[in-house]
Amino acid sequence: MSYTPHGKHLIAGERIGTDDSFQSNPASGASHSFSAGNADMVDRAARAADEAFTSFGSTDIETRAAFLETIADEIEARGAEITEMGHAETGLPTARLEGERGRTTGQLRMFAAHIRKGDYLDRRHDAALPDRAPLPRPDLKLIQRPIGPVAVFGASNFPLAFSTAGGDTASALAAGCPVVVKGHEAHPATAELVADAITAAVAKCDLHPGTFSMVHGGSLEVGKALVEHPLIRAAGFTGSLRGGRALYDLCAARPEPIPFYGELGSINPMFMLPAAMADRAATLGDGWAGSLTMGVGQFCTNPGVAVVVDGPDADAFIDATARGLEQVDGQTMLTDGIADAYRSGRDTVNATGAAREVLSKTCDGRNAAPALFVTSGADWRANPDLAHEVFGPLGIVLRVADADEMLAVATDLAGQLTCTLHMDDADTETAQRLVPVLERKAGRLLINGFPTGVEVCDAMVHGGPYPASTFAGTSVGTMAIRRFLRPVSYQNFPDALLPGDWA
């Protein structure tokens, strides 16, 4: 291993150690000791961020765009070490980590280009009407301003693209908000390397050092202290429904509540319409098996449920899926805890007694092997445990009687990140009945694709009605910046007092 972690927090440009520590638990290679976070470290970081906000919140667009591009350069300069460390800590393949690094630097540069265009500021001007009767109208100018210091929680399943310099951090910095990251314990050395890269960029761009800090985890106290800190103005999170809901409730219970942008996952149902199934049931089953096992199923967009109309095409689809899954052996998950949670999720599905296990391989330790269950639409609707996300390569097939029952399943769905239709032209009428229902359930609707693979672009929505996320909006793509902006209206303001971005 070419990199030895320093194991400290990075607060406003300084490496700071604490007495308490935790050991990393990498999938391979040596374990290291890391300073554990605490409320005092969070307080130092939040105070520094608030101090930085005075200058960083008023930087011009070009300064922030150049800063984002410098972060991307600094990450690339540490690319080989980041991949090596990320692979050791998470067990994710190096090719996946290299792709994720490209996505991370790509989204930093995308936000630079996005803010340079300026339209994200949504400038509006209602000129004064001094002669209007019965009352004159004042001059009103509206522009989006940064919300203030933002807390970002590193995610276990994307050590780069949804973590230290991930989409939440990139969009908050682009908006002009200083960021305090809580590193995820699953990959503390990877978090440290990326935090070093951002700290180097802060110095190179001559910004206030409090613009960025990273506090390691170590206990639930850190996340709690972060979202409860009075100087933190918003939080970005990707993780479990339980953890996200706990943090959301803390944000709402503050004397001054703040927005909590939690992306909490989903079962991402796919509706396999009859004509498409008649044409290619086996191909669809094969494709689903590949999508379900990609990245050991550790994607929030993993398609965990397929709804099919009962009959021979359903049998062919299930056989092909099972054959595809059969070929995949146990794969390493991100943490021991996530592997345990996968197995207990599988046990919960079994314990309902309402789903038949078509395929289940034994797995232990940090490994997960795929599992496939079949149930009826009626049993699925009667057993809420079958509708919960099982994070990992577990699929459930719902055999329904007809299109009407498909619609009933769609109507009963909780909020989702994605919903998919596999269809041919002859399925259009059924699709026309489903789409208005699914539109109310999910942030992204797909035709003839698999939802894993979230494009980072202008038209992407990665979010959905609760419990998919705690907000109406997106944590991926350029629109993610809106979470960290606040409109301010300036009445009768002379140009000299308007924010620099108005010009």
Task: Indicate if 81 belongs to the active site.
Answer: no
Q: Give the count of alpha carbons within 13 A of 31, CB side only.
A: 8
**Residues 291-310: x where in contact with ligand NAP by CB under 6 A, - otherwise, as a string:** ---------x----------
Task: Please check whether residue 343 is in contact with residue 303, taking contact to mean a CB–CB distance below 8 angstroms.
Answer: no
Q: Residue 338 interacts with ligand NAP (CB under 6 A)? A: yes
Q: Residue 265 interacts with ligand NAP (CB under 6 A)? A: yes
Among 18, 21, 58, 240, binds ligand NAP (CB under 6 A): 240
Task: Indicate if 357 belongs to the active site.
Answer: no
Shortest gap between Cβ of 499 and ligand NAP (angstroms)? 34
If you compute the radius of gyration of the chain from its CA atoms, what whole number of angstroms results?
24
Whose CB is nearest to ligand NAP?
Answer: 265
* CB-neighbour burial class of residue 93 (10 A; exposed 0-12, middle 13-18, buried 19+): middle
| Stretch of 22-30, 237-245, 366-374, 476-484 contacting ligand NAP, by CB under 6 A | 237-245
What distances in angstroms separate CA 88 from CA 194, 195, 214, 420, one per listed residue?
A: 15, 18, 21, 34
Residues 503, 499: Cα–Cα separation, whole Å? 8
Angle at 8 between CA 7 and CA 10, to 5 degrees: 135
Q: Give me the catalytic one of 300, 363, 389, 419.
A: 300
Tokens linked to 471: 């907000």
Where do we find the tokens 């939080």? 235
Q: Residue 463 interacts with ligand NAP (CB under 6 A)? A: no
Query: Helical H runs in 57-185?
Result: 61-77, 79-90, 94-117, 167-175
Q: Give me the catalytic one of 89, 100, 228, 263.
A: 263
Q: Residue 332 interacts with ligand NAP (CB under 6 A)? A: no
Shortest gap between Cβ of 123 and ligand NAP (angstroms)? 35
Q: Residue 349 interacts with ligand NAP (CB under 6 A)? A: no
Q: Residue 11 interacts with ligand NAP (CB under 6 A)? A: no
Residues 53, 59: Cα–Cα separation, whole Å? 10
Task: Please check whether residue 137 is in contact with residue 126, taking contact to mean a CB–CB distance below 8 angstroms.
Answer: yes
Among 157, 199, 416, 475, binds ligand NAP (CB under 6 A): 157
Which CB, 167 or 265, lies closer to ligand NAP?
265
Q: Residue 391 interacts with ligand NAP (CB under 6 A)? A: yes
Angle at 166 between CA 236 and CA 226, to 5 degrees: 35
| Stretch of 213-221, 318-326, 431-439, 448-456 contacting ligand NAP, by CB under 6 A | 213-221
**Residues assigned a catalytic role:** 263, 300
Binding region for ligand NAP (CB under 6 A):
153, 155-157, 182, 184-185, 217, 219-220, 223-224, 238-240, 243-244, 246-247, 264-265, 300, 338, 341, 391
